[in-house]
Structure 1
Amino acid sequence: MKELYIEFLNAENEESIIEKFHNTLVDTNRGYDFFVDWDKIRKHVEKHKIEFNILNSLIGSKQFDNDLREILLNYPRVLPVIPILLAIRDLNFKVIRDFTDKNLDIVNYDFNIRPLTLEEIDGIVEFFDKTGLKRFFLEMGTKSILDYVMGVEVGMDTHARKNRSGNRMELLLKPIIEDIAVKNGFEEVLFQKNFKYIETNYGIEVNSSIKNRKADFILIKDNKKVNIEVNFYSGTGSKPQEIVDSYIERQNELKNNGFEFIWITDGEGWRGQKNQIHKGFEKIDYLLNLHFVRLGLLEGILCRI
């Protein structure tokens, strides 16, 4: 392994490899598509385009409550889009009507499509009034509910950034790994599957220690099986030693099941952690950062496995 690294990195020895690994760490794994998932937002808005346009008729209404009642009575299909106007995905939720009431009257709201009773319609009219939606339609000067909802969806998508940040490395490396695997004759590239899946679908036996574990990538070629795990360490969460030890343990378990193991990691959290990086290179057969992958080292490893 050391010879392969020295060849690709033009390094003199293992210490030089560790130095190059440390000096080529990146501060972020964000691309421009990290910030807003515009395709998802457009899909969400287009899904209810008709319903939003029906609600458009309420903008500046001179008899808002009556017009809203007519819409709810004749077009109950608008019900699921009402919570979206308040940046809420849930269709069922509870609200305390009055905190000053010693009995704390709880109101249950159900925005699933269904014919509404007059009492339920009155309840939703009250909901518009109490939440400020009525004021929004009458006073905020909005010309298009679709445009407004587009902005709401952008805001709600910021919550999804946490998930995008968490799996960004997997998505970043997925096309690269798939391309390398295809070029090097791997028949299967499995993404985010547990090891039980390959036992069930490919007849590859695994023991109970890893059966229910999820793998970022599993590559299969003839009798060769490779697990590639990727992560980005920003310096928050687990300690570097705990991370390295966990991947060392994972490699040992995988080897007991006939798997080769590759760990791709990066991030500013590894800066100043040369002792742990050294430990990783000492105990793990194949350890790379994004720079090493771009240089072709991952392909070189998969060619020789």
Structure 2
Amino acid sequence: MPIRQNRPPTDEYVEDFLEHAVPSAIPNDRFIDWDSLNTDIDKYEEQIEAITNLEDATEKEFVEGVADALMAADDTREWIDFYFELVGERGNKYSSLEGVWKFYPIQRAIDSGDREEALDLASVLQDVGLQYIVDKGNVRDHYRGMLVGMESHARKNRQGLCFEDEVEERVAEVTEQLRNDGHDVEYDDEYTTAYNDDTGQEKTVDFAIFEDGDLSVAFEANCYKVQGSKPSEIRRSYNHVAQRMRNDGVVFVWITDGQGWESMANVLAESYNDIVDVYNLYQADEHLADDLLSDFNGA
């Protein structure tokens, strides 16, 4: 059975959810991961120094200097990755109108002593504009700027990690309240449990609370900053998971938030109607502890 003690009508629930939804799970001081960014810069100190020494070289000298560095590198791929990151490209290959350069076979060729391969890649980098970057600015500052620009991709994962941190704080707090109420409870993250049926299927949940060593509450945490099809897919999946968990005597709680829900009110309503125990961070702060205490105490 669902644990929610406060069950307003669907429209009131949706209104309350959206009124208190957080815009994003990423706090200002984690918008840019400066520690990781500076670690990347430090990692490429040798490469930065080497290419800075090619400032004001002729085109031929520049191409040969990059090729020489590739031929002498202990980790050729690391140098290739750095050069292409300087021109704003990440991945396993570079492609253009002129062709495709796959880094793994190029790395193998250079490591086997193929200087022509190194010269060809260096020439491509010179064509793309690597020499211009070296001649016209500070390579270290340019690289830092490139990493900041690439942070938009990293923030997609950071959104989920930051939200999980927020949810974990609340799971830890409610576990402590249950413990203070006399229950032998503890919590864990990334817990995998098998369903109590003949399917042999398992489910890994973001957080889990155990009572007397047995799984009692399973939590999933998701934050949506923008609209998309994924929340609807997740809703259907979690509805199925919630039913199976409850069949096993386990409470299933979905904590979700984000301004993406503003344009998905219908999906939110369906989630509440199907799963019931759906909270945003505000609602979790207001109701989750009381709901779980009532459930644990058999109220």
2:250 matched to 1:259? Answer: yes
CA RMSD of aligned residues (A): 3.8
Instruction: Measure how far apart 1:179 and its partner are.
Output: 4.0
Aligned position for 1:87: 88
Shift in CA distance, 210/39, structure 1 to aligned 2, threshold 3 Å: farther
The TM-score normalised by the length of structure 1 is 0.72
2:143 matched to 1:146? Answer: no
1:88-167 residue pairs with structure 2 within 5 A? 88-90=89-91, 92-93=92-93, 95=95, 98=98, 107-109=101-103, 110-111=106-107, 114=111, 116-138=113-135, 140=136, 142-143=137-138, 145-166=139-160
Shift in CA distance, 50/175, structure 1 to aligned 2, threshold 3 Å: farther
The TM-score normalised by the length of structure 2 is 0.73
Shift in CA distance, 135/21, structure 1 to aligned 2, threshold 3 Å: closer
Question: Can you give the 5+ residue segments of structure 2 that lack an aligned partner in the other structure?
Answer: 180-184
Aligned position for 1:43: 39
Amino acid aligned to 2:93: F
| Structure 2 residue corresponding to 1:218, chosen from 197, 201, 208 | 208
CA contact 1:82–1:111 (8 Å) conserved in 2? no
String of CA shifts for 1:107-150, please: whole Å, max 9, x gaps. 55424783643322322331232222123223x2x23x222211
String of CA shifts for 1:83-106, please: whole Å, max 9, x gaps. 22223333x4254674xxxxxx65
CA contact 2:172–2:187 (8 Å) conserved in 1? no
CA contact 2:83–2:125 (8 Å) conserved in 1? no
CA contact 1:26–1:268 (8 Å) conserved in 2? yes
Shift in CA distance, 137/35, structure 1 to aligned 2, threshold 3 Å: same
Amino acid aligned to 2:41: V
Instruction: Measure how far apart 1:298 and its partner are.
Output: 2.2
2:8 matched to 1:14? Answer: yes
Shift in CA distance, 71/128, structure 1 to aligned 2, threshold 3 Å: same
CA contact 2:220–2:254 (8 Å) conserved in 1? yes
Aligned length: 279
Question: Can you give the 5+ residue segments of structure 1 that lack an aligned partner in the other structure?
Answer: 7-12, 99-104, 197-204
Shift in CA distance, 46/184, structure 1 to aligned 2, threshold 3 Å: farther
Percent identical pairs in the alignment equals 24
Shift in CA distance, 2/208, structure 1 to aligned 2, threshold 3 Å: closer
Distance 1:70 1:146 in 2: 21
CA contact 1:218–1:226 (8 Å) conserved in 2? yes
Instruction: Measure how far apart 1:58 and its partner are.
Output: 1.3
Instruction: Measure how far apart 1:302 and its partner are.
Output: 3.4
SS in 2 for 1:227: strand
